[in-house]
Chain A
């Protein structure tokens, strides 16, 4: 069980019931549970979509796509059944917020799924959780069973004449399955390999039917929007960035934790919310949206945390993971750890991603060990840039973007590792020193050299 934190600046919407015992369905009902679903059943599809559009709710999974607009893309008539998927794969490094929602407020997710279902006239929902979240699968399965027992799921929910079925699905370890089309493949019993788009899931998704897929936090916000109104929700955030967000403040801070703060909350203040930088050290950099977004240097952190402001600053709000990095961190090593992750998780379907992550990892290992030459720095940049936009799914970009930004913004640190220089941050002798490659070795080991 993960510890909860609190701070006076928090605005609690999705986290309202955290620590309140809301896994128990009666307790949940006492805390306004299932009122939103009943209201939604009387509102009808168009009114629900309009309310969600008015709320400026944007996807909490990473891309920040407006939820109401996504729902409106689902065709009204469809010969095939339509589906609602809750994405609870939560595997973006730095991200640990959906976990708290499932743990403390499972019924809010179920309500979100039902309401999205009503909005697009779907009668089947799936809640997909990563396999490592076994204790949460148990919590969610119990919540679903309780909802069935009360007639909140199944045939004729709340006596409304509307049928809605919902099931919980487990993954078995794969970051890529969090990507929407790969998740559908996984749910169809296959390897989690992405699908080419278009067609988009809203038109052709799970089992070939129109499908809405949203992140768990996105869906958990929906009942609150239905009850409180879109306008109220929008007013909590900044223009076009409605509401609050569960920010996962982690890394080199005194009080890491998941804090619910309004959209647009200043990043510097956020670091203070998390107790400031630990061990009397100084801030060096922040990855403001999980491991897949460009880093910000300490000087760039005086910005409001919403999708548009971060885009303008050359980064992304991503998954709500804010990884705070202090000045004792070697950024070459950081880049290497990030790339190790992407190399490990690449599904291998697209060549630029599979080969690119592998070469980048190898180059960074050599580099961090002091075996790099000056040209490697540009080579890293070159390889990463050539992955951008050249893959079936955004995984390739996710691996490339942080790498490009790390080389660009911390080039000096890369230079400090050149040609046998020991890493200035490591306990010496700890890393295996790889030899600096000779020109000839380089030619065979280096795709850049071969291409030129």
Chain B
């Protein structure tokens, strides 16, 4: 399996960090997912081979970490925090609003493959609540209007 040169460089660099190869596993999985879109069987197999692990050992790790997914998901992963600090400031309203706007629920994708929606646990934005991450980008102090702007700008980006 082929990864980009940039990712190969990153993987090579990772191996200089530790006394054992396996320590690179979690970062490799996440970085590979960022490139491929999900942790496919191929990715599992390739990383297992590189780290002298069995596919099963790798799968065992994949299933533990909530950011890793084994199936393709929408291009923009909308992750809305509804944990306590966000809940106290209206996160549920925000989540419901997005649900209605996109017509999808928790862990579902829009039919055009553009959006994936997830209700997530605390993302470390409690003092700027309610908050969400779209892929890795934070959007904070959310209101329903602000959410609409974000969704609109992502849609626009796609049609351009």
Contacts and interface: CB of A to CB of B under 8 A. Distances in A.
Interface of A: 1-3, 81, 90-96, 98-99, 126, 130-135, 167, 169-175, 186-192, 207, 248-252, 256-258, 287, 291, 321, 323-326, 329, 334, 337-338, 341, 344-345, 347
A344 B121 CA distance: 9
A345 B121 CA distance: 9
Contact of B65 (A90, A133, A174): A174
B45 interface: no
Contact of A251 (B25, B60, B84): B84
B22 A188 contact: yes
B140 interface: yes
Nearest to B121: A341
B88 A189 contact: no
Contacts of A2: 125, 127-128, 138, 140
Given A95-B126, A132-B124, A188-B22, A251 B85 contact: yes
Given A248-B127, A249-B127, A174 B64 contact: yes
B9 interface: no
Contact of B126 (A3, A93, A174): A93
Top 8 closest pairs, chain A to chain B, by CB? A173-B67, A189-B25, A189-B22, A173-B66, A172-B65, A250-B85, A167-B17, A134-B136
Contacts of B65: 131, 171-174, 192
Contact of A291 (B24, B83, B124): B83
Nearest to A83: B19
Contacts of B142: none
Contact of B128 (A3, A132, A192): A3
Contacts of B17: 126, 167, 169
25 contacts: A2-B140, A3-B141, A93-B84, A93-B85, A94-B85, A95-B122, A96-B124, A169-B23, A170-B30, A187-B23, A189-B23, A189-B24, A189-B51, A191-B60, A191-B61, A191-B64, A251-B84, A251-B88, A252-B89, A256-B126, A323-B84, A323-B88, A334-B84, A341-B121, A345-B121
A94 B66 contact: no
Contacts of B27: 169-170, 172
Interface of B: 17-20, 22-27, 29-30, 51, 60-61, 64-68, 82-85, 87-89, 121-129, 133, 136, 138, 140-141
Contacts, number: 150
B153 to A, nearest CB: 17
Which of B22, B66, B82, B133 has the largest count of A CB atoms less than 10 A from its CB? Answer: B66
A204 B48 CA distance: 27
Given A95-B122, A96-B124, A172 B83 contact: no
A186 B26 contact: yes
A323 B85 contact: yes
Which of B20, B126, B129 has the largest count of A CB atoms less than 10 A from its CB? Answer: B126
B140 A174 contact: no
Contacts of B88: 250-252, 323-326, 329
Contacts of A344: 121
Nearest to B68: A172
A125 to B, nearest CB: 11
A192 B122 contact: no
A92 B60 contact: no
A321 B84 CA distance: 11
A338 B84 contact: yes
Given A250-B126, A256-B126, A256-B129, 16 more contacts: A96-B126, A96-B128, A126-B17, A135-B138, A169-B17, A172-B65, A174-B64, A186-B26, A190-B61, A191-B61, A192-B65, A248-B126, A256-B89, A258-B127, A323-B126, A337-B87
Nearest to A132: B123
B58 to A, nearest CB: 9
Contacts of B22: 188-190
A131 B30 contact: yes
A170 B19 CA distance: 17
A1 B124 CA distance: 12
A82 to B, nearest CB: 12
Which of B60, B88, B124, B133 has the largest count of A CB atoms less than 10 A from its CB? Answer: B124
A130 B66 CA distance: 11
Contacts of A248: 126-127
Given A131-B30, A189-B22, A341-B122, A347 B127 contact: no
Contacts of B141: 3
Contacts of B87: 334, 337
Contacts of A1: 138
A286 to B, nearest CB: 11
Nearest to B85: A250
Nearest to A190: B61
A321 B124 CA distance: 10
A93 B83 contact: yes
A169 B24 CA distance: 9
Contacts of B30: 131, 170, 172
Contacts of A91: 121-122, 124
Contacts of B126: 93-96, 248, 250, 256, 321, 323
Given A174-B66, A325-B88, A337 B128 contact: no
A189 B28 CA distance: 10
Contacts of B26: 169-172, 186, 189
B6 to A, nearest CB: 13
Contacts of A81: 19
Nearest to B39: A172
Given A323-B88, A337-B84, A347 B129 contact: no
